[in-house]
A and B are shown apart, each in its own frame.
Chain A
């Protein structure tokens, strides 16, 4: 059980942080994800379905959290302003992209995070998103375009 956490905590934490934009909250929700997974261990079909299944739990944990607490993930434009004048700082780029992500739909955000998290196959992504692989590709293309649109005007912060 402990090794399962070690192997997958990075993936789950990355997904949740991209979804919530809140470091401390993400740490708690990552723990919740593993606990919920362990409580439902009997429901996993087989090894190859484990990662999509775990990602789905993470997604539901985040949804449940915001359903309980009503407020949606915060868009921290103020935070971006604070970093101004430090465009060579990688943190600056992170905040700009994270903010752009926060303005996308939950589905786009999830899809983009899964796609660029190294090592996840298209099959696993499609399974987590409950889409066909072909559909996932189309949705990803649109999500990328929407993300680019959100970053319009911030181009110089990225380079």
Chain B
């Protein structure tokens, strides 16, 4: 503001924002009547305010929003079932692999393990034979558990 020569010029914004006390306000209004610089500044501030108050309109967007929103929701439901499907497939694969891998890692004969009458004793050895369990078996088991847990977590998160 180079061309100013009024010390009250700064007060114009305060005046417009109602930051002056009643007394100051009256005083300033009196000054305003006689000061061309402050009148000019006030006009500028009012023009700025007027422009900032302009309400802009995007036109008719309602139907576009509703269509896009419905589509998004459908996609959400679809992706939920996709995740559910993935977890089920993952779970079955994990279970199948576990049943083949566990006896192998425990050095059990697979043939006898898969025979129904031997399954009970196989499981008994699996649970009871703690000294036979090796770190690899524990690690693989743990990895499977993590995998399934993370899948379930993904499902819960996408649902929200």
Contacts and interface: CB of A to CB of B under 8 A. Distances in A.
Interface of A: 1-2, 5-6, 9-14, 17, 26-27, 30-31, 34-35, 38-39, 93-94, 97, 112-113, 115-118, 137, 140-141, 144-145, 147-148, 151-152, 155, 158-159
A148 B51 contact: no
Interface residues of B, number: 31
Given A116-B49, A152-B1, A27 B61 contact: yes
18 contacts: A9-B58, A9-B61, A10-B55, A13-B56, A27-B58, A93-B47, A113-B52, A116-B53, A117-B53, A118-B53, A118-B55, A137-B17, A140-B17, A141-B19, A145-B13, A148-B13, A158-B44, A159-B47
Contacts, number: 92
Contact of B56 (A1, A6, A17, A39): A17
Interface string B50-74: 0111111111011011101100110
> Among A31, A94, A147, which residue has the most Cβ atoms of chain B within 10 A?
A31
A152 B98 CA distance: 75
Contacts of A115: 52
A115 to B, nearest CB: 8
A39 B56 CA distance: 25
Given A116-B53, A117-B55, A118-B53, A1 B48 contact: no
A30 B60 CA distance: 11
A27 B59 contact: yes
A22 B155 CA distance: 38
Sorted from nearest, which 8 A-B pairs have the closest CB atoms?
Answer: A116-B52, A13-B58, A158-B47, A14-B56, A116-B53, A97-B51, A34-B65, A5-B62
